[in-house]
Amino acid sequence: MSATELKCIDLFAGAGGLSEGLSEAGFHCLFANEIIDEYADTYKKNHQSTTVTTADIRDLDAKEIRKQFQIEREELDLLAGGPPCQGFSINAPIRSILDERNHLFKDYLRFVDAFAPKAVLIENVPGLVSFEDGATLHAILDALADLGYGADVRILGAAYYGVPQMRWRTFIIGLRGKNLPTAAFPEPTFHAPIRPNFTATFNGQQLVKMPTPETAAKFTSVRQAIDDLPPLKNGEQGEKIKGYHCAPTSDYQKLLRIGSPGVINHEAPRLAPINLKRMKYIEPGGNWTAIPDELLPQGMKRARKSDHTKRYGRVAPDGLASTILTKCDPHWGAYFHYSQDRSFTVREAARIQSFPDHFVFTGTQAQQFAQVGNAVPPLLAKAVGLAIKSILEEGR
């Protein structure tokens, strides 16, 4: 850790997407907690200078951890994490008492109280804003205010920050003892064809950060994200570390290839014969509506052609990918490759999430897909981290 790096802690850390982006922004993560063994193993492999604890956060003593790292209260720069928040609202006391997620967010607050960091960062799904008519979000902001933090919330579109997919995340940022300046949330740096399909206002305030007319850069396309990866057939495994298909064809590929020994986690899932038959009818950018009725799943034979527009989709190479989920299952999104008759590999999903190629995912293939899908895109996390870093450095 260099003297210029800011210190942070990552709770509910997953495989480490948030930490990866914060690291690229100039933060050093001292400590991370993750309850799922396979996620924690991936985190440890990629963040070897971070102390990682695999445990239920409710079993951790925040004050003892602070003493372990010899950190005084108010010394830590940032406490980050994605605690489940949906059970926290004071408007549903019976549900909140029974909902274990409520207690998990309280444990995040327990760490805030123990460390009194200069800044806090919470990420969650866009639906948090409308959950219980906004009561949950009000309760979160009030709880942070009670601990001395001026906090605010924004919804950020990952594609506006160079990530090649239609993904939205809610971010809450708080500063200790200060009102939060608007510059605490990063300005979009790319234009992208995405539109909110969720509640985007809170207390009469527009939460979505949109590009300005001066934002010149066009979004990163799927082709620009993955076209240099070696081609595979359905179910093909190949060498553990593969060579690149070609030299980088985009700045995005150049960026994600830095420090990589080659292509890792790039094995094609084996699709069932019925999906291979369905795929033959789908052009790039097309979806299930091109599949003959006799080949459709029973439940989709009754669906309207205007519904489920991403299901059984072959991604458009010059467009954005569907949101990467915990399974790149073609039944749930456009996860067929645009030119190869197969679905995405873990590495392609990771590229679309903006993980660098040197980031290795461990566990079974299903576990790797889950780790990628649950992660915060590192490029988005980096943008947020740089904005927070700028605010913290101004206050020094």
3 state DSSP class of 392: helix
Task: Give pLDDT tens digits for 112-136.
Answer: 999 999 999 999 988 888 888 888 8
Query: Across the strands, what pairs with 175?
Result: 119, 150
Burial of 303 (0-12, 13-18, 19+ CB in 10 A): middle
Torsion (CA) 278, 284, 285, 288 in degrees, nearest 10: -10
Catalytic residue among 8, 85, 246, 328: 85
pLDDT over 70 for what percent of the chain? 94
What element of type H or E holds 100?
helix 100-115
Q: Residue 94: what pLDDT?
A: 43
Structure token digits, residue 312: 């059984």
Question: What gap in Å lies between CA 33 and CA 60, rounded to an integer?
Answer: 9
Q: Rounded mean pLDDT of the chain?
A: 92
If one counts every other C-beta atom within 10 angstroms of the C-beta of residue 231, the result is 11
pLDDT beneath 70, residues of the chain: 1-4, 85-103, 395-396
Structure token digits, residue 246: 């070609």
The CB-side HSE value for 218 (13 A sphere, CA atoms) comes to 7
Residue 328: active-site member: no
Q: Residue 395: what pLDDT?
A: 67
Question: What gap in Å lies between CA 334 and CA 314, rounded to an integer?
Answer: 5
Q: What domains lie within the chain, and their CATH numbers?
A: 6-212+377-394 (3.40.50.150)
Q: Residue 101: what pLDDT?
A: 54
Q: What secondary structure letter does DSSP report for 296?
A: S
Q: Residue 197: what pLDDT?
A: 86
Torsion (CA) 233, 237, 239, 243 in degrees, nearest 10: 40
Backbone angles phi, psi at 169, to 5 degrees: -140, 145
Q: Residue 362: what pLDDT?
A: 97
Question: What gap in Å lies between CA 390 and CA 382, rounded to an integer?
Answer: 12
